[in-house]
Each structure stands twice: as C-alpha cells, then as structure tokens.
Amino acid sequence: MSAGELDVRVTRKRTEALDISTFELVQVDGRPLPAFSAGSHIDVHMPGGITRQYSLCNDPRESHRYLIGVLRDPGSRGGSRTMHDEVPEGAQLRISAPKNHFPLVHGAAHSVLMAGGIGVTPILCMAERLAMTGGPFEMHYCTRSRERTAFTGRIAQSGFASKVQYHFDDGDASQKLALDDLLARRKDGVHLYVCGPKGFMDWILDAARAAGWPAEQLHYEFFSAEVVRSDADAAFEVRLASSGRVVQVAGNQTVVEALAAAGIEVQTSCEQGVCGTCLTRVLEGEPDHRDMYLTPEEQAANDQFTPCCSRSHSRLLVLDL
Ligand code: FES
C-alpha cells in the first residue's frame, strides 16, 4: 500500500436517482478517516486496476465515513460501470487520502455554487460547509430531469434548502437558469464555483468571462473529461532533458504511452487531464493542451503540460524528465 492510502469497506450503497448511486466508505480497521475540506476528492482504486477520482459529498465535519456519488455513464471507460456493477455493499476498496484542488475561498462576500448533474457532489459539500460557517451563498443545481436529480431529500431536510434552486432541462421556462442575469447581478467579492459536465462548465465559465468576472473569482473542477483523440493527431518527439534521449510519440499514442514503451514511467491517475498527477514541466516547445486541470493562464505559459492527454504543436518538446 502506498503512503497515504487507506483500505475502506463499502458499508452502504444506495440509489440516489436514476443512474446515480452513493457509496458510503468506512475504514476497514474502524479508525476515523483523515479530515477533509469541502471540494476534496479521493482516488478510488477499483477492481480491474482502474483508478478514478470522486468528490466527497458528505458533511466535512464527519470523520467516520466518506460518501461518494457515482453516475453510471454510458460512455464510461470502465470506472463508473465497475462501481455500479462490481462494487456491492461489503466490498473492500483502496483509496487515497483526500486531496483538494477545488477549495472554497473563506470570507467571500457571497458564493454562487453551480452544479451540473453529478457535479453536485463537491458543490453539496461546499453548501454544507458554508451553511455551517454562516457564509452567504446560493446554489443552483441543473439536471436533465427530476428523476436524474440526486440528494433532493437530503437538501430538503438541510438547513440550507431555501438557498438551493433546481433547474431541470425538461422543466418549464420559469425555472430555467437565468445565467446572464445571475452573472450581471454580483461581481465584487463574489466567488463562483462550477462543477459538472464539460458542456455545462464551458457554458457557465465562458459566460462569466464574457461578463467580466476576474479569473480569481472563478473556481471549477471537471469531474471527468472526454479524452480527445483524433486520427488527425500528428506524431512528434519528446526529449528528456536529463539524458538527452529522444522518444517518438506516434499519432495514435499519448506521451505517457510512448514514454512507457521506452521504459520511462510517468505517474498517472485519471488519464483524462483532470487530476494533475502527471503534470510535467516543459522546457522547450509548444504543448497542445488538452487537459481540464490547468487554468487558461497556466496553459498559455506553456511551461508545463499533462502528458496523459496533451500533445504538441511543435515538432519537439523538451521535458524536465
Ligand atoms: Fe490526471 Fe494526467 S493523469 S491529468
């Protein structure tokens, strides 16, 4: 077991909504779990050698359990299907300690929490935390339909139910999210948090940027991403700065795959450009960023990239490896 990893048991598996299940995890040895802050996720190592990241969605004051929510995704590369079909109550899993790439800014004048579909998991945890500390906030929860909306009972019973507005794609016009109005309403000291599918996040974040929201007030986390591979992807070369060794990356290969074939391991986790585990410094060349992890500003600096999914615009990339 690597440092910081934990063996947990699924003590409760519950259907929360159509295609969404929650898994309650407790430590196998019965000890309290490491503390976590709102917005944290864990790596879950599941049967078949698959590792995926799931946000913790329970109250961050709890130490006896972690709660994760998993959407059965028909386009799944195996992670969500495995959790739904092969991880019953009583199953044992190995997880990482919580990590937080999506923390709340404390002391904000107001927080706008925006969840799309299963992206509600970290957002719900943030709502719990803000409700507890008295931080002013509102939460918007957008889903395809009421039957696909998880945690409605928990929200209804919470002390913050009045701060949550639901927006269903199949609902009438009066309940649709009036995004432009919302973004025009508040700016100073207001922080916006977004989690959901890529199309949802692009919609919110593009509108917020167009409305003049500064980058430091926009916070987001992609919970999963499509890895864009195209037959038109060009081959290129990477050179390892330490040894000068040059490795060819074929059009149908990722940099991580090409390096692995050459006997060079780069640590990965999500392999989707979401988690940042594989982040590697770039010393020369222009990466073709395809990740969701780096901010637009960090991508533009071109001094680091995610070799699990990103490629190269230049013929050669020199990597700090
Ligand atoms: Fe997660 Fe590359 S392994 S970003």
Tell me the chain's radius of gyration from C-alpha atoms: 20
Q: What is the mean pLDDT of residues 305-321?
A: 95
For ligand 1, mutation pick of 101, 255, 265, 309 (most atoms within 8 Å of CB): 309
Name the band, by pLDDT with cuts 50, 70 and 90, for residue 133.
Answer: very high
Looking at the predicted structure, is the pLDDT value of residue 207 above 90? Answer: yes
Distance 134 CA to ligand 1 centre (A): 35
pLDDT tens digits along 227-237: 555 556 889 99
Q: Return d(Cα 321, Cα 315) in angstroms, integer.
A: 18
Name the band, by pLDDT with cuts 50, 70 and 90, for residue 294.
Answer: confident
Half-sphere exposure of 292 (CA within 13 A, CB side): 27
Output the pLDDT for position 275: 81
Single-letter amino acid code for the residue at 263? G
Closest ligand 1 atom to 293 CA:
4
Going by alpha carbons, the residue nearest to atom 4 of ligand 1 is 273
pLDDT tens digits along 91-109: 999 999 998 888 999 889 9
Looking at the predicted structure, is the pLDDT value of residue 255 above 60? Answer: yes
Output the pLDDT for position 70: 93
C-alpha distances in angstroms, 235 versus 231, 249, 254, 288? 11, 5, 10, 12
Identify whether the C-beta of residue 80 lies closer than 8 Å to the C-beta of residue 107: no
Residue 230 CB neighbour total at 10 angstroms: 9
Closest Cα partner for 12 from 29, 25, 2, 30? 25
Looking at the predicted structure, is the pLDDT value of residue 21 above 80? Answer: yes
Looking at the predicted structure, is the pLDDT value of residue 67 above 90? Answer: yes
For ligand 1, mutation pick of 45, 96, 226, 277 (most atoms within 8 Å of CB): 277
pLDDT tens digits along 214-229: 989 999 987 655 455 5
Exposure string for 63-97, b = 16+ CB within 10 A, e = fewer: eebbbbbbbebeebeebbbbbbeebeeebebbbbe
Output the pLDDT for position 43: 87
Q: Which residue has the tokens 């959901």?
A: 196
- The region of weakest confidence among 41-55, 86-100, 228-242 is 228-242
Phi, psi at 163, each rounded to 5°: -95, 0
Closest ligand 1 atom to 306 CA:
2
Closest ligand 1 atom to 269 CA:
3
Report the DSSP beta bridge partners of residue 51: 45
Distance 253 CA to ligand 1 centre (A): 15
Single-letter amino acid code for the residue at 48? G
Single-letter amino acid code for the residue at 17? A
Q: What is the mean pLDDT of residues 128-142?
A: 96
Q: Return d(Cα 111, Cα 139) in angstroms, integer.
A: 8
Work out the widest C-alpha separation in the chain, in whole angstroms.
62
- Of the two residues 3 and 5, the one the predictor is more confident about is 5
Identify whether the C-beta of residue 303 lies closer than 8 Å to the C-beta of residue 281: yes
For ligand 1, mutation pick of 53, 308, 311, 319 (most atoms within 8 Å of CB): 308
Q: What percentage of the chain's residues is helix, strand, coil (to nearest 5)?
A: 25, 30, 45
Output the pLDDT for position 47: 82
Output the pLDDT for position 258: 95
Tokens of 259: 């390096």
Looking at the predicted structure, is the pLDDT value of residue 121 above 60? Answer: yes
Q: Which residue has the tokens 């490491």?
A: 34
Tokens of 64: 């006896």
Identify whether the C-beta of residue 306 lies closer than 8 Å to the C-beta of residue 291: yes
Closest ligand 1 atom to 270 CA:
1
Q: What is the mean pLDDT of residues 270-296?
A: 88
Q: Is the pTM of this model over 0.95?
A: no
C-alpha distances in angstroms, 200 versus 35, 51, 82, 205, 227? 30, 24, 25, 9, 17
Mean pLDDT of the chain: 90
